[in-house]
Amino acid sequence: MFHSSFKFVISFLVFQIFYLIIFILIIIFVHPWWLILAYIVSIPLTGLFSFHYYIHLKKTIALWRYKFMMVGKDKKLLEIKELYNDVISIVDTLIVPKINS
């Protein structure tokens, strides 16, 4: 647990320093004030876009992996699907009689 907390703090600090350096460079090299303002406004918007893009990308990659495993008839995937169906049928037999009572 210490390692993950340490990595979080380090990444949080590096993130702040990185954006501070970029912000200072923008102020130094960009002269119209409206471009600086546009940059400041775009930071959270691009962060939200990249977060949602990252989530979508992870889901797409997982779906591709699943489809490739299905096409290749991966034994572990077939076993997992069979176990899933067994668990669902057991839960159905436990719950359905109580609902009908």
pLDDT on residue 93: 85
Taking the domains of the chain in order of start, what are their residue ranges? 49-100
Structure confidence by residue, pLDDT tens digits, 13-66: 998 899 899 989 999 999 899 999 998 899 889 989 999 999 999 999 999 998
* Residue pointed to by tokens 């990252």: 54
The answer to whether the beta carbons of residues 60 and 68 sit under 8 Å apart is no
The identity of residue 8, as a single letter, is F
pLDDT on residue 34: 93
> Does pLDDT of 97 surpass 90?
no
Structure confidence by residue, pLDDT tens digits, 58-92: 999 999 998 888 888 888 888 999 999 999 999 98
In this prediction the pTM is 0.54
